[in-house]
Structure 1
Amino acid sequence: MKIAIFTDTYYPDINGVARTLKHFTSYLEKQNISYKVFAPNSDSTEYISSNIRRFKSWSFFLYPECRLALPNMFQLKAELEAFSPDIIHVATPFNMGLCGIYLAKKLAIPLVASYHTDFDHYLQFYELQLLSHILWKYMKWFHKPCKKIFVPSHETLTQLTLHGFANLEIWPHGVDCELFHPYYGNEAIRKQHGVSRKYVLTFVGRLAPEKDIKTLMAVANALPAEINEQVQWLIVGDGPLKAEMEAQSPANMTFTGYLTGEALAEIYSASDLFVFPSPTETFGNVVIEALASGTPAITANSGGVKNIIKHGVTGFLCETGNAVEFTDAIIKLISNDCLRKKFGSEGRNYALTQNWDTIFDHLLWQYQSVLEGTNFQKFA
């Protein structure tokens, strides 16, 4: 099988789509499966591969971490024909995704897609709700030619079904439990980040409205003095709200910027709680990474995250935007070491069952079902 992937973001970009696709292409390399990624160029020269075809691009003004490429279609068509893929997978609904759909039709190549981002939910955080109808109309048009549309959670599948999408399949995300684990030297990590207080509370993600940073800051500023004196916040990430957050932040909040790999894994491991109020996640990669690290998560009861967290077992699910619920959940777990450690252990055990290779094996079976016109049992 030869696979062509069209995406508007790819490693070393720091977002869930790019990281998931990098896991997938690493798996394909291990399996000696031929693939080619067509993606915008990157400011970084960290990762260069003959399997990646980059195109000149510009930052998207609403979401600078995503780039819009404008490839020469004649050249792109020639390169795709030379590669001669059996299947095309489009991962994003922007320019490169549109190129993938056009060429799949033009060259009669079977087409599948994956749905990673809840753009409709984003609109309310940018006061653009009036565009919701137009957005859904476009998204349905974009995905209509696809033989299968892979979604990361049951919650997303339900949402798209209600909007009239067809050919939906669950493609959950996994976690690297060899990288993300609870066994790093936490004292050295705490010293590295200047943590002197007893408990570490961590947030990881883009510092942007759709992550409900407003609720995060409300919680950080609402903790009772006796709890606050024992807590150090580590905010991992960057984005348009960073300067505003720093201006509003309490004295016990530290901003690390973006972290990846072992540096990120160490932060999770050294954390006592992971606090994540974002209601817009189709899955929640950072949540399962926290669980793999033995760190209980307190999250919004919304989106794909609610399919990861087992309330009262691996963490707490709180009403979206309800700072009081988040604050109460933090106090409950900070005040009960035994319960917190039990949650952490249960979270680690759950993460160990979410193996990337098994998940990608099933994705290849789904590809094969498209090529052969047969149906395979859905991934549960």
Structure 2
Amino acid sequence: MKIAFFTDTYDPDINGVARTLKRFTDYLKNQDISFKVFAPKTDSSDYVTNHIHRFNSLSFFLYPECRLAFPNLPQIKSELEDFAPDLIHVATPFNIGLCGVYFAKKLNIPLVGSYHTDFDHYLQFYNLKFLSNILWGYMNWFHKPFKKVFVPSMDTLETLKRHGFTNLEIWGRGVDCELYHPYYDKLKVFKEYGVRKKYLLTYVGRLAPEKDVHTLLSIAKSLPPEINEQIQWLIVGDGPSREELEKEAPNNMIFTGYLSGNSLAEVYSTSDLFVFPSPTETFGNVVLESLASGTPVIGANSGGVKNIVQIGKTGYLCTPGDTQEFRDRILHLLANDSKRKQMSLEGRNYALSQKWDRIFDDLLWQYSSVMEEPKQQKFA
């Protein structure tokens, strides 16, 4: 099996799409399955390999981590003909994704895609909701040729069904439970960030309007003064809203910037609660990472997050944007040590069942079924 990926974001970009594709291509490499990635060139993508072909690009205004690339069509055609892929997988609906669709048709290569980002939900946070019908029209047109469209959660599948999408399949997400676990040194983390409070509450994610980070600030400011004195917030991530957030943030909020690897895992592990108000997640990788680390989640009852958090068992789900509901859930769990500990155990146990290899094995099976379709039709 040989697979060509067309994506407008890839490692070392820091977002769920890039991280998922990198993990999948690492898996393919370990399985000795040939692949080639067509992706944008970024300031930090200096690493050169025969597996990846990169193109000059500019950032996309609505989501700067996704790039608008300037692909060289004759070069792509030549590389594809030399590589002779059995399947093309398109991961994003921008320039490079369009190239993948075009060459799949032109060269008669089976085509699948994956839907990762709820751009329609983003529009309301940028005062662009009037573009919703145009966006859905484009998304339907773009995905229509795909033999299968892989989505990360049942919520996303149902949303796309309502908008007329077909050939939808669930492609879930796993978590590295060896990296993310509850057993890191809490004192080391507290010392590193100067934490002297009783409780550590954490947010991990892009600092941007679509993550509803302003609700996060409202939540932090709404907690009673006597409780706030015992809380330290760690805000992990970066993005266009960071400067504004830092100006408005209470004194007990530390902004760490992006973290990865052990540094990120340590923060999850030593936190008492993970607070995540984003209503726009198609999955919610950070939520699963928090559960793997034994940290209960208080998240928005929206998108893929509501398919991960088991209410009252691994955390709580709140009405998106409802500051009071988030505050009440935080106060409830901070006042109940035994409940938090039980949720910690349940969250870890759930994460242990979410194994990447099983998920990728299933995806390869789906690939095989698409590749066999023409043979079945010809035989019939």
Q: Is TM (by shorter chain) over 0.5?
A: yes
Q: How does 1:16-95 map to 2 (within 5 A)?
A: 16-45=16-45, 47-95=47-95
Structure 1 residue 58 displacement after superposition: 1.1
Tell me the distance in 2 between the aligned counterparts of 1:66 and 1:153.
Answer: 21
Structure 1 residues 223-245: Cα deviation after superposition (integer angstroms, max 9, x where no partner): 11111011000000011111110
Q: Alignment partner of 1:279: what SS?
A: coil
Q: How does 1:1-380 map to 2 (within 5 A)?
A: 1-45=1-45, 47-373=47-373
Amino acid at match of 2:201: L
Structure 1 residue 47 displacement after superposition: 3.9
Tell me the distance in 2 between the aligned counterparts of 1:46 and 1:348.
Answer: 36
Q: Alignment partner of 2:289: what SS?
A: helix
Kept in 2, the 8 Å contact 1:197–1:232? The answer is yes
| TM-score (ref. length: structure 1) | 0.97
Structure 1 residues 223-279: Cα deviation after superposition (integer angstroms, max 9, x where no partner): 111110110000000111111100110000000001111111111011110000000
Kept in 2, the 8 Å contact 1:333–1:339? The answer is yes
Q: Alignment partner of 1:373: what SS?
A: helix
Structure 1 residue 61 displacement after superposition: 2.4
Structure 1 residue 182 displacement after superposition: 0.6
CA 1:315–1:2 in structure 2 vs 1: closer, same or farther (change >3 Å)?
same
Structure 1 residue 59 displacement after superposition: 1.4
Structure 1 residues 4-38: Cα deviation after superposition (integer angstroms, max 9, x where no partner): 00000001100000000011001001101000110
Amino acid at match of 2:267: I
Identity %: 68
Kept in 2, the 8 Å contact 1:104–1:111? The answer is yes
Q: Which runs of 4+ in 1 moved over 2 A?
A: 45-49
Tell me the distance in 1 between the aligned counterparts of 2:142 and 2:198.
Answer: 50
Tell me the distance in 2 between the aligned counterparts of 1:93 and 1:161.
Answer: 18
Structure 1 residues 350-374: Cα deviation after superposition (integer angstroms, max 9, x where no partner): 0000000000000000000001129
| TM-score (ref. length: structure 2) | 0.97
Tell me the distance in 2 between the aligned counterparts of 1:94 and 1:86.
Answer: 22
Kept in 2, the 8 Å contact 1:11–1:47? The answer is no
Kept in 2, the 8 Å contact 1:12–1:46? The answer is no
Tell me the distance in 2 between the aligned counterparts of 1:307 and 1:71.
Answer: 37
Tell me the distance in 1 between the aligned counterparts of 2:63 and 2:118.
Answer: 14
Tell me the distance in 1 between the aligned counterparts of 2:176 and 2:62.
Answer: 31
CA 1:26–1:137 in structure 2 vs 1: closer, same or farther (change >3 Å)?
same
Kept in 1, the 8 Å contact 2:6–2:97? The answer is yes
Structure 1 residue 63 displacement after superposition: 2.1
Q: Alignment partner of 2:178: what SS?
A: coil
Amino acid at match of 1:230: Q
Q: Which residue number in structure 2 is paired with residue 377 of structure 1?
A: none
Aligned length: 374
Tell me the distance in 2 between the aligned counterparts of 1:240 and 1:58.
Answer: 16
Tell me the distance in 2 between the aligned counterparts of 1:152 and 1:240.
Answer: 26
Amino acid at match of 2:268: Y
Tell me the distance in 2 between the aligned counterparts of 1:192 and 1:186.
Answer: 10
Tell me the distance in 2 between the aligned counterparts of 1:276 and 1:142.
Answer: 31
Kept in 2, the 8 Å contact 1:314–1:344? The answer is yes
Amino acid at match of 1:170: I
Structure 1 residue 166 displacement after superposition: 0.3
Q: Alignment partner of 2:123: what SS?
A: helix
Structure 1 residues 147-179: Cα deviation after superposition (integer angstroms, max 9, x where no partner): 000000000000000111000000001101011
Query: What runs of 5+ residues in structure 2 fail to find an aligned partner?
Result: 375-380
Amino acid at match of 2:190: R
Q: Alignment partner of 2:200: what SS?
A: strand
CA 1:259–1:133 in structure 2 vs 1: closer, same or farther (change >3 Å)?
same
Structure 1 residue 46 displacement after superposition: 6.0
Structure 1 residues 62-102: Cα deviation after superposition (integer angstroms, max 9, x where no partner): 32222111111011110111111000000000011000000
Kept in 1, the 8 Å contact 2:59–2:65? The answer is yes
Q: CA RMSD in A?
A: 0.9
Amino acid at match of 1:199: Y
Structure 1 residue 45 displacement after superposition: 4.4
